[in-house]
Amino acid sequence: MTATAAFNTLPPANAPTITLTHPTASERLAIWRENGAHWRGALSLEAYLVREQHLAEQSLTSNGGITWWALVSEAGPRDSDGENSTAGRGKRLVLAACETFRKRALVGKDGVVHEAVAHGIGSVFTPVRCRGKGYAGRMMGELGERLKTWQAGEGGQNLFSVLYSDIGKEFYAKYGWTPYVEPFAWIPYASNTRPNGFVSHLPTSKPLYKADLAALCTSDEAALKSSLERRSTNSSKTVVALIPDEMTMDWLHAREDFVALELYSHEPLIKGAIVGSKEGHRAWAVWTRMWYTHDPQKPRHENVLYVLRLVVEDGVEDTKETVAALLEAARSEAEKWEMSGVEVWNPRAEVIDAAKLVSKNTGLIEREKESIASLRWNGDAAEEVEWVANEKFGWC
């Protein structure tokens, strides 16, 4: 049977021969090859394949931290081009695929907060020849149910899962993932966009390195738990948060470091900035750089420095100026590393005010299509859920 004939006989999305399963190693490589054509960014395809394997071997993803999923047609036609397609060399055809990450989370209700397991969904992909046939919808419908108990232990249940949609708000909402649409602050890289009267006497910030992050993440987690206790005490809502722990930051920085080594032959050592040294009186930002192009004709096009997590402890005075010092440090790094600017997700009012100190061209941009944070709640359907600390660190 020719490949063309095979593709003309793809099964309907509701066919009983279609199952949600885990791809073999060869199928996974074929999936990466196909989605890499769309997602490799500034990397070559071969470098992208190496990076994906590298990211699967980090502390966050090892020992079952990442799970690969594939919607396959068990009785489907054999793809004659097995070496270079998601069909692999086996007898089944991959119709859609994704991956999930096991994440530590907090859930608070009536002042009581407990740690939970959540799952983050990423890399949702349908091969071009399989699009428009309902396969992604079937995969997400089945995946949502599977994730309720996936890795939860005997008799356990995972209370929620998250994803970050790049195709708008409607598709994933049909399968239970409610969009939590909030704007992001955008700060251009160029220092000449500073407003007149730029505050040159901002507090002094110091760079953060990998070795600094473990202790800060531990402090952040404790403060976040206390925040959820307070919020849930005074609210009828269930309050949830992903935990911005060291493993999460390490994974995002492993991604950043790999690309930087490929493009520049050295890693970016500075992972954030901090103002203050006394516990309870500090503010810090952790960031990562993402390169979407390495075109010398437009070196900054679309490359972005993302603030992963922004923390201001309760004892900080002059919050606006302190945060501005952190954002200025981020802007400086963006300029140095050929980024078009700095993006801060879901900024509080004082963060927006601080950003305006750094650049007169700061914008507050509403999300319409990309990075739409979405959460599927598996608990009581009548519960209203508040998602706290919905920042870039949760992305996967």
Same domain, residue pair 149 and 218: no
396 falls within a domain: no
Nearest-CA neighbor of 258 among 396, 393, 58, 103? 58
Contact status, residue 391 vs residue 310, Cβ threshold 8 Å: yes
Same domain, residue pair 159 and 194: no
User: Looking at residue 85, what is its pLDDT?
Assistant: 45
Same domain, residue pair 283 and 170: no
Token duo for residue 156 = 């356990």
Tens digits of per-residue pLDDT, 282-303? 999 999 999 998 876 676 678 9
Same domain, residue pair 95 and 201: no
Q: What whole-number distance in Å separates Cα of residue 188 and Cα of residue 387?
A: 28
Same domain, residue pair 58 and 199: no
User: Looking at residue 82, what is its pLDDT?
Assistant: 41
User: Looking at residue 80, what is its pLDDT?
Assistant: 43
Same domain, residue pair 167 and 251: no
> Domain range for residue 120?
18-179
User: Looking at residue 295, what is its pLDDT?
Assistant: 78
Same domain, residue pair 158 and 205: no
For every one of its 396 residues, what pLDDT tens digit does the chain have, with 9 covering 90 and above?
A: 333 334 458 999 999 999 999 999 999 999 999 999 999 999 999 999 999 999 999 999 999 999 999 999 986 544 444 433 444 445 799 999 999 999 999 999 999 999 999 999 999 999 999 999 999 999 999 999 999 999 999 999 999 999 999 999 999 999 999 999 999 999 999 877 776 666 678 999 999 999 999 999 999 999 999 999 999 998 999 999 999 999 999 999 999 999 999 999 999 999 999 999 999 999 999 999 999 988 766 766 789 999 999 999 999 999 999 999 999 999 999 999 989 999 999 999 999 999 999 999 999 999 999 999 999 999 998 899 999 999 999 999
Between helix 45-55 and helix 25-39 the angle, nearest 10°, is 120
3 falls within a domain: no
Same domain, residue pair 297 and 322: yes
358 falls within a domain: yes
User: Looking at residue 382, what is its pLDDT?
Assistant: 86
Name the residue type at position 333: E
User: Looking at residue 196, what is its pLDDT?
Assistant: 63
Nearest-CA neighbor of 283 among 231, 325, 345, 222? 325
279 falls within a domain: yes
Report the CATH number at residue 118.
Answer: 3.40.630.30
Q: What whole-number distance in Å separates Cα of residue 395 and Cα of residue 307?
A: 12
389 falls within a domain: no
77 falls within a domain: yes
The CA–CA distances, whole Å, from 31 to 28, 125, 126, 255 equal 5, 9, 9, 19
User: Looking at residue 296, what is its pLDDT?
Assistant: 66
Same domain, residue pair 161 and 191: no
Token duo for residue 196 = 């007149």
Give me the sign of the Cα torsion angle 129, 140, 392, 253: negative
Same domain, residue pair 85 and 48: yes
User: Looking at residue 379, what is its pLDDT?
Assistant: 94
User: Looking at residue 7, what is its pLDDT?
Assistant: 46
User: Looking at residue 353, what is its pLDDT?
Assistant: 96
36 falls within a domain: yes
Q: What whole-number distance in Å separates Cα of residue 213 and Cα of residue 217?
A: 6
* Helix (H), strand (E), coil (C) string for the chain: CCHHHHHHCCCCCCCCCEEEECCCHHHHHHHHHHHHHHHCCCCCHHHHHHHHHHHCCCCCCCCCCEEEEEEEECCCCCCCCHHHCCCCCCCCEEEEEEEEEEEEEEEEECCEEEEEEEEEEEEEECCHHHCCCCHHHHHHHHHHHHCCCCCCCCCCCCCEEEEEECCCCHHHHCCCCEECCCCEEEEECCHHHCCCCCCCCCCCCEEECHHHHHHHHHHHHHHHHHHHHHHHHCCCCEEEEECCCHHHHHHHHHHHHHHHHHHHCCCCCCCEEEECCCCCCCEEEEEEEECCCCCCCCCCCCCEEEEEEEEECCCCCCHHHHHHHHHHHHHHHHHHCCCCEEEEECCCHHHHHHHHHHCCCCEEECCCCCCEEEEEECCCCCCCEEECCCCHHHCC
388 falls within a domain: no
**Tally of domains in the chain:** 2
Token duo for residue 92 = 């089944």
Same domain, residue pair 79 and 97: yes
